[in-house]
A and B are shown apart, each in its own frame.
Chain A
Amino acid sequence: MKRLFAALVMALSATASQAEEVTTYTLDNGMEVVVIEDNRAPVVVHMLWYKVGSADEPVGASGVAHFLEHLLFKATDVLESGEFSATVAANGGRDNAFTSYDYTAYFQRVAADRLELMMQMESNRMNNLRITAEDVETERQVVLEERNQRTENNPNALAREQFRAALFQNHRYGVPIIGWRHEMEELDLQDALGFYDLYYSPNNAILVVAGDVEPQEVLALAKQYYGVIPAEEQLPVRERPQEPPQRAERRITYVDARVSQPYLVRMYLAPERDPGAQREAAALVYLAELLGGSPFTSALGQALQFDTQTAIYTNASYNGQALDDGVFSFSIAPADGVSLSEAEAAMDEVVNAFLEAEIDPARMESIRTQLRASEIYALDDVQGLAQRYGAALSQSLTVADVQAWPDILQSVTAEDIKAVAAKVLNRDQSVTGWVVANQEEAR
């Protein structure tokens, strides 16, 4: 769907040593530029990332970052409402945008010789939006229908919203990207413009251009179109409320008649990838794989889906792509006749046994190989590479961090994994959620 809204835009990207060809610059006004060359096809992806997302929103205006993203497709001083996308389409391209907790990004995919036109239009809407009260009324209905489609009509999404709200006691990561409905209903022109005027500026943006381009030409165009936009002097330092020490586990049962398969989720606060400090995050990638990556070979899959028929689905995942905190989580769907409490006890037993046993070196080697290979496969997807850099840079990582990540992943040891597991798998920093159709299933 157009204007997708991405909670997890990038799954854990993996590794590579052969690496893409990347060139970087910083314009005089503070805008960062990243160029990734890939000459296999005469296509370019032009992405503009703003270092602002839903977690930067003012209190009471949840959803404004995503709402503004929609409004950026309306009129500017030189473009009519809808003309941006129509022009991209008339040039045989596709455009879209997405919002997450830490960033808002706009992109077009076009023939490489149309790059200048994209820059011209994208730079124009950085400062010259002319939205009207009528635009706001109609588009607010659209985002409310988007919330209906993604969340209100989906018991799993509603449950997840409850769990995240409980996991984050102080951080805005606990507020949904699309916004709480009652606050979305009140969003107005001033909310949108206030956010726009403050955050949409070159010193808060990253340009990523990937594809069949020559870096020096991209730089010249970037200077011409983006370099002339003055930096925002009032841009605030990006400091958001942080989590206090968490001292007690939280448990939630979400009941919704539309649930067909009861399941449970356990989420833990976890370290994220930080500049110059990505080792714990890398170890957590392995921990998730070892505990609940493949159902055939992971600890949870083997124990609960093969050795016993306790579960029909098991998973462990880790998202460390965040400016502030990451999340490590388990999900288990019990087999027919197995209660949630039995499934949860079985899950904890597997995790505890894992913590006490030696890590199988063969499994370590297999994961290492897969991570190395995924880096080769990633080279086939130039837009994916562009996203990798855009997301990382908008979450405070550097190009050097992005390029070091594959080697850091390769260097993870069993000791690293044990140490990070002991630290992260702490119930005091967790939410356990049960999702059921009725109270009788909550046992």
Chain B
Amino acid sequence: MLRILFAFCLTIVATTAQAELDIKQVTSPGGINAWVVEEPAIPFVALEIRIQGGGTLDLPGKRGATNLMAALLEEGSGDMTAQEFQTTLEDLAASFTFRAFDDSMQISARFLTENKEEVIALLRQALVAPRFDQDALDRVRAQVISGINSDAKSPNAIASSTFYAKAFGEHPYGSSIDGTIDSVTALTRDDMFEAHRNALVLDRLYVSVVGDTTAETVGAMLDDLLGDLPTEGPPLPDDVAFGLDGGITVVDFETPQSVAFFGQEGLERDDEDFFAAFVLNHILGAGGFESRLMTEVREKRGLTYGIGTSLVPKYHAEMILGSVASSNETIAEAIAVTRSEWERMARDGVTAQELEVAKTYLTGEYPLRFDGNADIASIMAGMQMIGLTPDYVVDRNSFVEAVTLEDVNRVAAELLQPDGLHFVVVGQPEGLESTQ
């Protein structure tokens, strides 16, 4: 029987907007947990599934297997070839997304209420009975290899892949989830079945359902959909230290504008200082036009179209990352200004007024995110994956409000390392050379 553990009407009270989100937590008869929001206004449903693991589960020598496997889930299953599967899906006017990320797999579906039974049966078939036909494997492999070749000539992709390789070496974080031309070329059907067996497992799976459905019916639906997946998968890899010291790495590439990808060690999502760091990062580089980096690098000096930073707490490592692009003649100045803002922030912290403005924005903006069934489903799946409970939706703004000036400035001094910041620059930057 379906058990509804608890349901509560959450009112997110912000400075101005109040969003009401009635999240029901359910457990299916088969033991699958899900968060459900009933939203009958429009006759469709958004379903979001995340499974921890993703590309970190690639076996030695099989880099790119999880990514290729995910791309093949829509390429034939059960007794349907790729074309038969897609024809059926199109006739139902539904859409599926299957993607592998570094730490997770994402499975999303959007379907009309009237087609729910057929769509769930089709999605179940893709998830539990993929075919990995050789012709599909070869066709999609060629697409993946074309993408790898494109990345090799894209300044942005070169910058980030160089950065990650230097920071994480042999750990999966150190290489692209797409794999290399050699590793992808060598992948076989057996590798696909093995990657599938390892990545789609119940004990690391999180589900949310939003739209024209009821919590009472979700449990049975999920048992149908996912019940035949294996319970457990192989262990996840160990955590890895951020292994990149401060400095500059220049990668020569003939293009008019240099691209810089930069970062340093960060902090964990469940660190007690996370919210202080979150507010700090907002003021430094995440707050659009109002951020210090945007003000100094773009608005005052016209050195770039955009610069931004973000906290990136991954499952096995934590970083603060940023990027900026500027002409070959001016990138050195853009980097110098960025580094000096990093220093100023570490040394002087933020002002009381900056903190107040940041809090007002962050708390006011939060409820605006919950618009649209797919957005809400995605947020809720992400919350579950990092161990949050539904009441976080209500409490989150109070965590932001609780950050004090002392917190932010202590964290600025402790966390930001102007000398630990490493820039990978792709282009032909004037006046910049690699430091090591």
Contacts and interface: CB of A to CB of B under 8 A. Distances in A.
A144 B90 CA distance: 43
Interface in B117-160: 138-139, 142-143, 146, 149-150, 152-153, 155
Contact of B371 (A90, A137, A260, A382): A382
Interface stretch (A99-107, A118-126, A234-242, A366-374): A366-374
B83 A138 contact: no
A40 interface: yes
Contact of A260 (B138, B149, B303): B149
Interface in A127-155: 137-146, 148-149, 152-153
Contacts of A110: 16-17, 364, 368
Given A82-B289, A91-B15, A366-B90, A261 B149 contact: yes
Given A92-B14, A153-B257, A41 B19 contact: yes
B289 A85 contact: yes
Contacts of A180: none
B44 A148 contact: no
Contact of B300 (A41, A138, A373, A380): A138
Interface stretch (A169-177, A220-228, A305-313): A305-313
A333 interface: yes
A382 B403 CA distance: 33
A157 interface: no
B112 A149 contact: no
Contacts of B16: 91-92, 110-111, 113-114
B152 A260 contact: yes
Nearest to A40: B41
B82 A153 contact: no
A137 B259 CA distance: 23
Given A86-B290, A297-B90, A302-B83, A260 B150 contact: yes
B243 interface: no
A92 B325 contact: no
A296 B82 contact: yes
Nearest to A96: B288
Nearest to A156: B150
A73 B289 contact: yes
B19 to A, nearest CB: 6
Name which of A40, A137, A138, A380 has the most chain B CB atoms within 10 A of its CB: A380
Interface in A177-222: none
Nearest to B298: A142
A109 B90 contact: no
B42 A140 contact: no
A25 interface: no
B63 interface: no
Contacts of A137: 302
A257 interface: yes
Nearest to A113: B16
Contacts of A346: none
A43 interface: yes
Contacts of A336: 142
A36 to B, nearest CB: 14
B153 A258 contact: yes
Contacts of A365: 91
Nearest to B152: A260
B150 to A, nearest CB: 5
Contacts of B94: 373
Interface residues of A, number: 66
A297 to B, nearest CB: 6
Given A111-B14, A257-B254, A149 B86 contact: no
A94 interface: yes
A255 B316 CA distance: 43
Interface string B215-227: 0000000000000
A134 to B, nearest CB: 10
A43 B371 CA distance: 8
Given A89-B287, A312-B143, A372 B93 contact: yes
Interface in A342-384: 365-366, 369-370, 372-374, 376-377, 379-382
A223 to B, nearest CB: 24
Contact of A153 (B17, B146, B150, B255): B255
B327 interface: yes
B18 interface: yes
B306 A92 contact: no
Interface string B81-103: 01101110011011000000000
Interface stretch (B54-62, B168-176, B355-363, B380-388): B355-363
A400 interface: no
Contact of B304 (A142, A152, A312): A142
A148 B155 CA distance: 12
Contacts of A252: none
A89 B298 contact: no
A74 to B, nearest CB: 10
A376 B43 contact: yes
Name which of B85, B93, B150, B360 has the most chain A CB atoms within 10 A of its CB: B93
B373 interface: yes
B111 to A, nearest CB: 9
B399 interface: no
B326 interface: yes
A1 B142 CA distance: 31
Given A41-B370, A43-B371, A93 B87 contact: no
A112 B150 CA distance: 44
A336 B367 CA distance: 49
A404 interface: no
Contacts of A140: 302
Nearest to B41: A40
B8 to A, nearest CB: 18
A112 B17 CA distance: 7
A369 B298 CA distance: 47
B372 interface: yes
A42 interface: yes
A312 B289 CA distance: 40
B153 A148 contact: no
Contacts of B392: none
A261 B146 contact: yes
B151 to A, nearest CB: 8
A42 B366 CA distance: 12
A339 interface: no
Contact of B363 (A92, A93, A370): A92
A335 interface: yes
Contacts of B237: none
A109 B363 CA distance: 14
B305 A366 contact: no
A26 interface: no
A82 B299 contact: yes
A259 B301 CA distance: 32
Contact of B364 (A41, A111, A112, A377): A111
30 contacts: A2-B288, A41-B368, A42-B19, A42-B367, A43-B17, A43-B368, A43-B371, A82-B289, A89-B360, A90-B357, A92-B363, A94-B288, A94-B365, A111-B17, A138-B301, A140-B302, A142-B304, A143-B305, A145-B257, A148-B256, A258-B153, A260-B153, A294-B86, A296-B85, A297-B87, A305-B139, A312-B139, A312-B143, A313-B143, A366-B90
Given A41-B370, A140-B302, A260-B146, 10 more contacts: A42-B367, A43-B17, A89-B288, A94-B368, A110-B16, A145-B305, A258-B254, A258-B255, A261-B149, A365-B91
Interface of B: 14-19, 39, 41-44, 82-83, 85-87, 90-91, 93-94, 110, 112, 138-139, 142-143, 146, 149-150, 152-153, 155, 254-257, 259, 287-290, 295, 298-306, 325-327, 357, 360-361, 363-368, 370-374
User: Which 6 A-B residue pairs are closest in the complex by CB-CB distance?
Assistant: A92-B364, A141-B302, A373-B93, A111-B17, A296-B86, A111-B16
